[in-house]
Structure 1
Amino acid sequence: MATSTPPPPTPTLSPTDPTPRYSYRIIHTYPHDPEAFTQGLVYENGVLYEGTGLRGRSSLRLVTLETGAVQQMILLEDRFFGEGIAIWQDRIFQLTWQSRVGFIYDKETFTRVGEFEYVTEGWGLTHDGRSLIMSDGSATLYFLDPDTLTVTGQITVFDERGPVVRLNELEYIEGEVWANVWQTELIARIDPQSGRVTGWVDLTGLLDQSNLSQPVDVLNGIAYDAENGRLFVTGKLWPTLFEIEVFPISDTP
């Protein structure tokens, strides 16, 4: 049966155990800006914070959940391709793709108050209450000190078939890192201690593309309302943001 809070992962998976799979059901749909190339998504205090990409169109936004209206927005310089975002205390961190620089903003005003460098590409970003967690499109997740922005650790993400690459947008949910896998309709549920994928959430068919007026890009964007157990997902250039529930796919027919 579907529950608002994601069901717990299967305990003590060995490296060779088959990874459990999960399906979904749609609880609610909300409008989403079809011009937003979603790269990062965070829910906090009733609103969404969204980072978007594409050179010349990259932005940081404050968005009304119910209407999709943009309340506040700052554009990045044209040379930057915006990527994942995370909120830490009174700051917002935003990665860029290939420029190897990230930006720090005041959460209330969106004033840029700093920047930081890293040696990989920037893809997804979240935090676990202690460290920022960053992906770079590989199978590696990096842990960063949120004050110094130095790398304090890293893990390789894997399932029974080996390393899981193309990890994209990230969200920390109930002790796990959830990651979009680029160019798939899958979300990996990841144990941040071991790197083991504890579950695959299959969102195949989530967006009905039969009646769309313009092309869309891939599934990307996960946000979690921890207080109410609500899970939100969307994609790049998607006209809809979905609230979903996930549930295990039974092993029996």
Structure 2
Amino acid sequence: MAAGSLKRRQSKRSISKPSIVMASRPSYQSFLTHRSTALLVSISLIFFVVLVSGISLNVLRRSPKYEVQSPMIYSIEVVNEFPHDPRAFTQGLVYVENDTLFESTGLYGQSSVRKVALSTGKTEVLHKMDDSYFGEGLTLLGERLFQVTWLKKTGFIYDQDNLNEVKEFTHQMTDGWGLATDGKILYGSDGTSTLYQIDPETFIVTNKWVVRYQGDEVHNLNELEFINGEVWANVWMTDCIARISVRDGSVLGWVLLPTLRRKLLQEGKQIDVLNGIAWDSGKNRLFVTGKLWPKLYEIKVQPSKENYGDERIKQLCLREAITF
């Protein structure tokens, strides 16, 4: 956090020229009066200095510059673990009511959209995509699922009940990586540092922002989720989730999740990167998983106890731009 600087104003004291007229020598009573006045002024000045010093010290103590912990960095606590298909190359994740998830998976010849039971991880309904498509981000708006595909400007709309394809559409992003919605409009990512706002009827880009952290672009924005007025984004090839302002694209905070992937690797699991965020707005539950991960996690986000500096966060969460 930026701390406001403290500024002091020095008052200018006017100095008048001494009179050339000689004054008569003061009386003893006048001398005592002047001495008492000088003593009173000195005491008042000492009191004023002590008071101002105390106020300045309190201001410094309250200044955010001196806070040890930045409120922008968050760690996680695992609340629950659920089974997840270890063959699912997760690209999009959506929570719906009754402990049900919709998931989009990638890889040519294996891409799908599926309805999944949260508690068991079992696929209840499956739509296999044509082998020429690589499935990517997924979101639910109304009763329709919207999906984008990799290296194409083609997307699909599905009926949420049976996952039948309803419509094919063309979008204006340079590629299809992530999708999210606030219930009215779509937000999209294309693997760059740009976050798009998209009309769900025409698929025209109505606004877009370059996502930045401390002035640096956040490249490789991947899977998206809309949570409490923010867009949360996986950053590809990192264990970081960026919390993004939909007003200007600035990063409001970082959620750090390295422990999840590290633990799975220590268990000998053959996994890929963190990817997949789902939000249960009814019960305020947050779910995350990854590509080829055997588990899906319900997590709580909390301020990190570790003191991260900006450079450390940049090392963990920022990557060079990648083109395909």
Gaps of 5+ in 1: 1-9, 12-16
Q: Which residue of the other structure, out of 216, 226, 230, is the alignment partner of 2:271?
A: 216
SS at match of 1:86: strand
The alpha-carbon distance between structure 1 residues 153 and 161, as it changes in their structure 2 partners (threshold 3 A), is: closer
Q: How does 1:148-159 map to 2 (within 5 A)?
A: 148-159=202-213
CA-to-aligned-CA distance 1:63-87 (integer Å, 9 cap, x gap): 0000000000001100100000011
Describe the shift of the 1:227–1:36 C-alpha distance in structure 2 as closer, same or farther (beyond 3 A): same
Query: Shift of the alpha carbon at 1:156?
Result: 1.0
Identity %: 48
Question: How far 1:212 moved relative to its partner?
Answer: 3.0
Higher relative contact order (CA 8 A, sep 6+): 1
More helix by share: 2
**Partners of 2:192 and 2:133 in 1: how far apart?**
21
Q: 1:108 aligns with which of 153, 161, 181?
A: 161
Write the letter of the residue equivalent to 2:235: V
In structure 1, how many angstroms separate the alpha carbons of the residues matched to 2:160 and 2:246?
Answer: 26
1:7 alignment partner in structure 2: none
Partner of 2:59: none
| Structure 1 counterpart of 2:260, one-letter code | L
- Tell me the equivalent position of 2:93: 41
Query: Residue 76 of structure 2 corresponds to which residue in structure 1?
Result: 24
Q: Give 1:147 deviation, angstroms.
A: 1.5
Instruction: Please point out which of 150, 169, 192 is paired with 2:246.
Output: 192
Deviation at 1:129, TM superposition (A): 2.0
User: Which deviates further from its counterpart, 128-137 or 36-45?
Assistant: 128-137
Provide the residue aligned with 1:135 in structure 2. 189
- What RMSD in Å do the two structures reach over aligned CA positions? 1.8
Residue 280 of structure 2 corresponds to: 225
Q: Check conservation: 1:19, 1:197, Cα contact below 8 A.
A: no
Contact preservation (8 Å) 1:84, 1:169: yes
Matches within 5 A, 1:41-190: 41-45=93-97, 46-119=99-172, 120-190=174-244
Q: Give the Å deviation of 1:107.
A: 1.2
- TM-score after normalising by structure 2: 0.71
Q: Between Structure 1 and Structure 2, which shows a larger proportion of strand residues?
A: 1
Does the CA contact (< 8 Å) of 1:29 and 1:240 recur in 2?
Answer: yes
- Paired positions, count: 238
TM-score by structure 1 length?
0.90
Distance 1:246 1:84 in 2: 23
Write out per-residue CA displacement over residues 90-132 of structure 1, whole angstroms, 9 at most, x where no aligned residue.
1111110012200011111211111111241100000112210
1:201 aligns to what?
255
TM-superposed deviation, 1:252:
6.3
Pairwise mapping of residues 232-251 of structure 1 onto structure 2 (< 5 A)? 232-250=287-305
Q: Is the 8 A contact 1:19 1:160 kept in 2?
A: no
Q: Is the 8 A contact 1:19 1:198 kept in 2?
A: no
Q: State the secondary structure of the residue aligned to 1:206.
A: helix
Q: Which residue of 2 aligns with 1:6?
A: none
Q: Deviations 1:156-211 (Å, cap 9, x if unpaired)?
A: 11110411110000000011000000000000000111111010100011131122
